[in-house]
Structure formats: structure tokens, C-alpha cells
Structure 1
């Protein structure tokens, strides 16, 4: 291993409940009656792809770009008001990686603005050598684009990268990129199939470098 790449939502921050709450509220406002577990099935994917899929599935009538903007504003406002901390063990893991000289990347399906807000709020932005949003690649997870792009910018071959993920779509993206994938079982991320991961953990502290 030469590089360690983090997902963000559900790995660095327990933000999935926030995403679920905002998305459920906006779905209801736009006449979408969500099925049980429907939002969970999109965890790890880009918001634009999720809303486009929901719009088609429910034959709803709304502008995806307008909804994305509204959702992002609500999430940023909540993050600004909430006194949140990184998931236990993340700060220590980042320190270990830095001490050992590994390159550190982040590949998240969230927007550039939300990623920046989270990393800034936690004062860990400078810990990452490369930070990429799903907005900045052609295809979002489960396609491998974002992880391949992070590896390329880090200057490390995919087979020498380890990915930390909490979502089924993210695990698939990491494996298709040819990377070793650690699946973090986060109960806040809903029912996620992490069976394709090379290793599954329930505590970030279980990762030793």
C-alpha cells in the first residue's frame, strides 16, 4: 500500500441521517412517496443521479438542478449549526497515515461545497493530498471513475491503493478500480451490502497501519 483513500459520508462524518432527512422532506414536497429503504439504496451515489432516477421512477415533475441547489443549501445550513465531530478513530487514522508517509486522498459523491464545509469544520482539510467530488468526474459511484481519478492525481497505481467505504456502491467502485477495499459497517448508513469488500470492520480503530 502506498496510498489510502477515504470516502466521506458515513466514513469521516455521520452525515447519512442528515442526507436522509433533507431528501425525504424534499421528496415529500415534490409528491414522491418513498418506499421503505428506497433512499438507502442510493447511498454512495451522486445526488443528481439519485434525483433523476427518483423523478423517473415516480413520474414526478420537478427540476433536478433546482432541487439539488435547495438540498445543498439545507445541508450546509444544518452543518453550520450542528456541533459535529469526525467519526471516532478518523483523526487518529489520519495521523498514523501521515506519520508513515502514505499519500492520502478523498473521493466523495457529495458536492464540492459540502465536502469543503465538512473538512473545514473538522480542521482536517490539510491532511489530504487530493480531494475530489463526484461532480468532478464523468460517472459517479458505483462506477470507478472517482477512485481512479484520485489515484491518478496522487501518482499511485490503483493496485497500491486502499479505500475505506461504508456503502455498497462505494465498495463496488473501489473494487472495479482495482483497489483493496475496507468496508466500514456504519449503522447510520442503513442496510448496506459490504460483502464485496476485502475486509469488514465495525470500528475505525480496528484499522492499523
Structure 2
């Protein structure tokens, strides 16, 4: 039996990639640049500092990464608070099933902690996870395994006995690099993501049950 279940957040708990795409385009336009949806899809799962460091170099932006992120997060959290949103269908039921099975739960997200906490508060999920880890709190972000290894460490779980739920190529790579099993969730709003390395791929989170987790562990 698995020892712990670790959730990505964006595109898994909250259907937030459209929000991220829109705000990131808005930020770049504010500074006088433009970017396509297809280009942004390639960065899904990366941390803010990594993402903006790359774009700053590519576009020759004069602003510091810190300045860009401060402006971006102000807009993003405002949009989140005003949005009429609920968790992705099946998330509340999956959390309840894991809880009933006595399986510890954590979030390991590339988003800044302030955004993670804003999402959990909006959905009333603050008490549903044993630990929350942001990729910005570990040495390397996804696709490196650091954030997932840190989550397993906090949970006191063997990484090889952990199952991760991810919607992005970078996230699946991180989970596999950590030696964990991974379920890939096909979220059309997360763009064209290669989920082929996942142990199990689902189109609906409501289809994930404890019996499925045992099957994932066997792979």
C-alpha cells in the first residue's frame, strides 16, 4: 500500500493555467512584449523565478526578476480572489477517499507559497493537507525532483511508496526523478502536455480510486 499521496496544484487542484497564461501575457504586454499561448505552454510546471529569468534573458527586459514577479503576483492574486471558481471536479472526493484510507497528503507546487495559500483559502482546503511545499523553497524547481523529495521527507514517507498527481510534463519528470509513481491528469487547459511517462493517465480525477493506486504501485 502507498505511504503518501502528493498533489501538484495548478491544473490539478485548481484549473488555473488559463489564469496564469492570461496574467503572464498581460505582464509582458505591460512591459512592451508579447508571447503566444504555445510558447507559454512550454513553461508549465516551472517556478516563477526560473520562468521569468528565462523570459527576461530572451526579451532583454531591463526589470529585475523580483520586480516582475511582484507586479505579476499582485495581479494574479487579485484575479484569483475575484474569480468564480471551484476545485477541479473530483478533487474533494479524492481527498476524502485518501483521508478515509488513512493516506497522508501533501501539495508540492511550483507556485509561490502565497499563491498556494490563497488557493487553499479560496476553496476552504487549508486543513486537508499535512504539508505544503513550494518549489521556490527548495534548491531546484521541477523538472528536478527536489520539491517532491522534500514533500516525502516531511511526510516521513519512502519516495518509492508515494503517488503523485500531475498534469504537466515538467511535473511528471520531477516525480519520476524522485523515484515516485505518477498519475497524469489530462487537463486540456494546461496545453499540449506530454504525459507519456506517467504510470497511469486519467481524463477525469473522479476516476481515481484507492484500488487504482495499488495498480499504479505495481508498475
Alignment TM-score, normalising by the size of structure 2: 0.93
The corresponding residue for 1:150 is 151
Q: Tell me how far 1:86 sits from its aligned partner.
A: 0.2
CA contact (8 A) 2:21 2:37 kept: no
Q: Tell me how far 1:190 sits from its aligned partner.
A: 0.6
The corresponding residue for 1:138 is 139
CA contact (8 A) 1:30 1:61 kept: no
* Closer/same/farther in 2, CA of residues 36 and 99 from structure 1, 3 Å limit: closer
CA contact (8 A) 1:8 1:108 kept: yes
Q: Is 1:62 aligned to 2:81, yes or no? A: no
Q: Tell me how far 1:36 sits from its aligned partner.
A: 5.1
Give me the whole-angstrom Cα distance separating, in 2, the residues matched to 1:166 and 1:178.
Answer: 18
Q: Tell me how far 1:58 sits from its aligned partner.
A: 2.1
Q: Helix, strand or coil: the match of 2:141?
A: coil
The 5-angstrom pairing of residues 3-82 of structure 1 reads 3-35=4-36, 37-82=38-83
The corresponding residue for 1:200 is 201
Q: Helix, strand or coil: the match of 2:105?
A: strand
Q: Helix, strand or coil: the match of 2:9?
A: coil
Gaps of 5+ in 2: 211-219
Q: Helix, strand or coil: the match of 1:162?
A: strand
Give me the whole-angstrom Cα distance separating, in 1, the residues matched to 2:14 and 2:4.
Answer: 21
The 5-angstrom pairing of residues 78-93 of structure 1 reads 78-93=79-94
Q: Is 1:122 aligned to 2:115, yes or no? A: no
Give me the whole-angstrom Cα distance separating, in 2, the residues matched to 1:122 and 1:164.
Answer: 19
Q: Tell me how far 1:81 sits from its aligned partner.
A: 1.1
* Closer/same/farther in 2, CA of residues 128 and 21 from structure 1, 3 Å limit: same
Runs of 4+ in 1 over 6 A off after TM superposition: none
